[in-house]
């Protein structure tokens, strides 16, 4: 695989300097740091693990997170960028830049975690308390498992790399069976569940984050092979229930505030990227520069998302009552946002555009060092509402509907927070739509479709196919005077989806470097 150079990075120096906010870690001056002399104390462990909460994820975060999660799934559309147009048309090639950067990003994270896990296990002195050692290993194994969870959902069978040194000696690796990839990440997350603390400073991982992610992994694995495993569904429900009933964590009262920087690392955020402002290109959170509809609502030089907007398909799911989540997720022409460019009187939308992750200017966020490459938003990758809905899906299981009191209690907590009436019955379709609305523009809907494709491939294909048949995989205009919405045309020819659509092509550069990636997957265990 084309990963050898990544494993040789002087990771501790480069990532620690650029990737973390000041209040997330305190560091002494860095000089002549190596893996041989760095891991000497508990504070060294905290410094090393904190470095993987941000910068290594930037290549995924800045475009593919929403490009794959929401454009490929039909929530969002960008008709002009060639790579993103491929996502809309289901005609993704192995040369697609978004696909290549995502693959490299996840294996870079794996490499960083492997480096630190090995160094901690071999170089940490006995004077460091075992509790602190295992806590650091728990963070690293959570992060490695999360990277593999993305890899498995996007590419299916992928190489499992646990020791960077072995890869350097033999860079030609096969893919491993999908069941083994899931087993590997479950082992990592079970370790994290056991050794991460119940409480830590804001932004740091806890056992509740690990249990929430473990619930989601079990829920996804349940469908591998065609029918959902009740054992895995029960495990998903068990861990999600623990988070809901034992963590003491609650939904943030305001859905809208979830995506404002003043509420970073709130009680609902289980795992969020810890971006810092003013760290420059490639080191920070550049989502709003790429997706904001206007340069007036971001630092000078940004705001390139005027052509990006919600699809008619996504918009059709929102009822008039569901206005809080809709306005927090995407703008309709005429919507006013007083917190964006507040000094200029706020921002009034001139088209249907992205809102979620658009947090405003440096002045709006009281962040003088903020630039176009480094929004201070700590965007959540796993939050409590997601775990609530994972729990409901695990309880629903193989049934088409449920009136289970516990499922309804949790499901309606999510709806009530959004200002939407509770329901008395949950169907597979209503749950899927609830997840789609609640988590829209957070990169989640594609993974929901992949999970469905494991055990109901025709159902997943039909959902995407209906977007084509009904011509809803398009953008739209909105007239605030009449309330009329009109579908837009873009000239994109969309290829009918098949089961193969749910597995991305392996990047051509990786196959060139490692032809064994084209071989049939082999067992890891």
Q: Would 492 be classed as within a structural domain?
A: no
Q: What is the reported pLDDT for 226?
A: 83
CA distance 106 to 123: 25
The 10s digit of each residue's pLDDT in 189-224 is: 999 999 999 999 999 999 999 999 999 999 999 999
User: Domain containing 92: what range?
Assistant: 4-51+79-252+503-518
Cβ–Cβ under 8 Å, residues 426 and 411? yes
Q: What are phi and psi of 476, to 5 degrees?
A: -150, 160
Give, to the nearest 10 degrees, the angle between helix 428-438 and helix 445-455.
Answer: 150
Q: Would 262 be classed as within a structural domain?
A: no
CA distance 502 to 20: 34
pLDDT confidence tier of residue 38, bands split at 50, 70 and 90:
confident
Is the same domain home to 241 and 348? Answer: no
Cβ–Cβ under 8 Å, residues 449 and 464? yes
Q: What is the reported pLDDT for 37?
A: 67
- Beta-strand pair 76-77/309-310: antiparallel
Q: What is the reported pLDDT for 1?
A: 61
Q: Would 406 be classed as within a structural domain?
A: no
Is the same domain home to 22 and 97? Answer: yes
Choose the final residue of a domain: 333, 353, 377. 377
CA 121 to chain centroid: 29
Task: Report, as an integer, the average pLDDT of 51-77.
Answer: 96
Is the same domain home to 222 and 347? Answer: no
Report the CATH number at residue 114. 1.25.40.390
Is the same domain home to 237 and 180? Answer: yes
Q: What is the reported pLDDT for 35?
A: 60
How many structural domains is the chain composed of?
Answer: 2
Q: Would 448 be classed as within a structural domain?
A: no
Is the same domain home to 191 and 305? Answer: no
The answer for residues whose C-beta is within 8 angstroms of residue 293's C-beta and 6 or more apart is 303, 305, 306, 308, 309, 331, 349, 350, 351, 353, 354, 358
Task: Report, as an integer, the average pLDDT of 223-234.
Answer: 94
Task: Report, as an integer, the average pLDDT of 56-82.
Answer: 95
Is the same domain home to 235 and 88? Answer: yes
Is the same domain home to 236 and 328? Answer: no
Decide: pTM greater than 0.85: yes
Q: What is the reported pLDDT for 80?
A: 84
Is the same domain home to 174 and 46? Answer: yes
Task: Report, as an integer, the average pLDDT of 371-376.
Answer: 96
Is the same domain home to 135 and 208? Answer: yes
Is the same domain home to 247 and 342? Answer: no
Q: Would 392 be classed as within a structural domain?
A: no
The 10s digit of each residue's pLDDT in 158-196 is: 999 999 998 888 899 999 999 999 999 999 999 999 999
Cβ–Cβ under 8 Å, residues 284 and 373? yes
The answer for residues whose C-beta is within 8 angstroms of residue 148's C-beta and 6 or more apart is 106, 110, 158, 160, 181, 184, 185, 188
Higher pLDDT, 40 or 470: 470
The 10s digit of each residue's pLDDT in 501-513 is: 999 999 999 999 9
Q: What is the reported pLDDT for 225?
A: 85
Name residue, tokens 């490695």. 144
Taking Cα atoms as reference points, which of 459, 475, 393, 391 lies closest to residue 432? Answer: 393
Average pLDDT for the chain:
93
The 10s digit of each residue's pLDDT in 381-437 is: 999 999 999 999 999 999 999 999 999 999 999 999 999 999 999 999 999 999 999
Q: What is the reported pLDDT for 227?
A: 87
């Amino acid at each position: 695989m084309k990963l050898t150079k990544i494993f040789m990075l002087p990771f501790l120096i480069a990532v620690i300097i650029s990737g973390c906010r000041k209040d997330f870690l305190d560091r002494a001056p860095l000089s002549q740091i190596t893996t041989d002399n760095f891991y000497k104390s508990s504070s060294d462990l905290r410094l090393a693990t904190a470095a993987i909460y941000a910068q290594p994820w930037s290549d995924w975060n800045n475009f593919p997170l929403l490009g794959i999660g929401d454009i490929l799934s039909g929530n969002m559309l960008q008709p002009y960028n060639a790579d993103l147009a491929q996502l809309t048309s289901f005609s993704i090639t192995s040369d697609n830049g978004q696909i290549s950067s995502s693959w490299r990003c996840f294996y870079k994270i794996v490499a960083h975690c492997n480096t630190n896990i090995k160094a901690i296990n071999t170089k940490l002195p006995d004077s460091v308390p075992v509790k602190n050692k295992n806590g650091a290993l728990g963070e690293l194994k959570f992060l490695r498992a999360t990277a593999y969870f993305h890899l498995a959902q996007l590419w299916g069978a992928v190489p499992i790399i646990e020791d960077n040194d072995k890869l350097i000696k033999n860079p030609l690796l096969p893919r491993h069976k999908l069941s083994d990839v899931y087993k590997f990440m479950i082992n990592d997350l079970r370790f994290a569940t056991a050794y991460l603390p119940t409480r830590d400073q804001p932004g740091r991982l806890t056992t509740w984050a690990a249990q929430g992610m473990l619930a989601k992994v079990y829920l996804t694995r349940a469908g591998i092979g065609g029918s959902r495993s009740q054992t895995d569904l029960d495990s998903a429900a068990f861990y999600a229930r623990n988070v809901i009933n034992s963590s003491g964590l609650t939904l943030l009262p305001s859905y809208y505030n979830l995506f404002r920087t003043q509420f970073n690392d709130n009680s609902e955020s289980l795992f969020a990227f810890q971006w810092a402002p003013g760290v420059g290109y490639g080191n920070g959170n550049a989502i709003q520069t790429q997706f904001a509809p206007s340069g007036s609502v971001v630092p000078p030089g940004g705001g390139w998302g005027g052509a990006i907007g919600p699809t008619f398909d996504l918009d059709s799911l929102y009822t008039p009552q569901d206005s809080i989540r809709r306005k927090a997720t995407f703008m309709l022409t005429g919507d006013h946002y007083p917190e964006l460019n507040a000094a200029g009187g706020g921002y009034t939308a001139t088209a249907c555009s992205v809102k979620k992750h658009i947090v405003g200017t440096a002045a709006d966020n009281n962040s003088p060092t903020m630039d176009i490459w480094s929004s201070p938003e700590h965007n959540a990758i796993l939050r409590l509402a997601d775990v609530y809905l994972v729990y409901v899906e695990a309880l629903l299981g193989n049934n088409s509907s449920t009136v289970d009191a516990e499922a309804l209690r949790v499901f309606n907590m999510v709806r009530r927070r959004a200002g939407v009436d509770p329901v008395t019955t949950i169907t597979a379709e209503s749950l899927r739509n609830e997840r789609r609305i609640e988590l829209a523009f957070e990169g989640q809907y594609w993974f929901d479709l992949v999970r469905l494709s494991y055990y109901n491939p025709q159902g997943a294909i039909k959902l995407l196919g209906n977007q084509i048949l009904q011509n809803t995989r398009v953008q739209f205009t909105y007239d605030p005077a009449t309330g009329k919405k009109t579908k837009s045309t873009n000239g994109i020819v969309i290829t009918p989806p098949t089961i193969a659509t749910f597995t991305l092509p392996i990047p051509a550069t990786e196959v060139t470097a490692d032809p064994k990636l084209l071989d049939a997957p082999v067992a890891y265990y």
